[in-house]
Amino acid sequence: MFSLSIAKSPDDFEIAAALCRELAEWDVAMAATHGVDAQLVMDLYHGETAASLARRYAQPGTGMLLASWDGRPAGCLAFSVFDDTADELHRFYVDPGFRRKGIGGSLMRAVINAVETRRKKWLLAHTTIYMIDAIAIYRAYGFDFCPPFRDVPEAVGHTEVFLKREAE
């Protein structure tokens, strides 16, 4: 059985941190195939703990959704305020053992529903060229490629992908 919930408790954020560690391991391995230093990837994008995730995603205007399948953690997707006109998605990950079951799409629909009630003009996403499945889901949910909305170090610039979706 599939379920979605919003991370609220310390246990929820422990689950989220474990999923984020899996994402980090995969990201580091994939970045290396594109000539990007593993430590740079960790320093720029990873290293979350349950406590740091809770501080970031338990605030007003933010959230972290957790997906489970038969009671086992299967994926996550978070959102936060980017600026007065946009919210941004973060930490989109579905465990490889649970892919192709509609979990990524379910996470995306739930987050879009959550953020669109806030009446911002844009929803933003920052990912990498090797996160092909994530890009496919973003594109399926109306995200288009866009210019960078933040600076990135030159050492990772060749792998970065920026997307945005106009709110409905």
67-90 pLDDT tens trace: 999 999 999 999 999 999 999 999
Res 167: pLDDT: 81
Amino acid 73: pLDDT: 97
> What integer is the mean pLDDT of 138-148?
97
- Residue 168: pLDDT above 80? no
- End-to-end, the C-alpha distance of the chain in Å comes to 31
Question: Which domains are seen in the chain, by residue range?
Answer: 2-166 (3.40.630.30)
Q: Which of 78, 72, 34 is nearest to 56 (CA)?
A: 78
Average pLDDT score, the chain: 94
Whole-model pTM?
A: 0.94
List residues bridging with 28 in a β-sheet. Answer: none
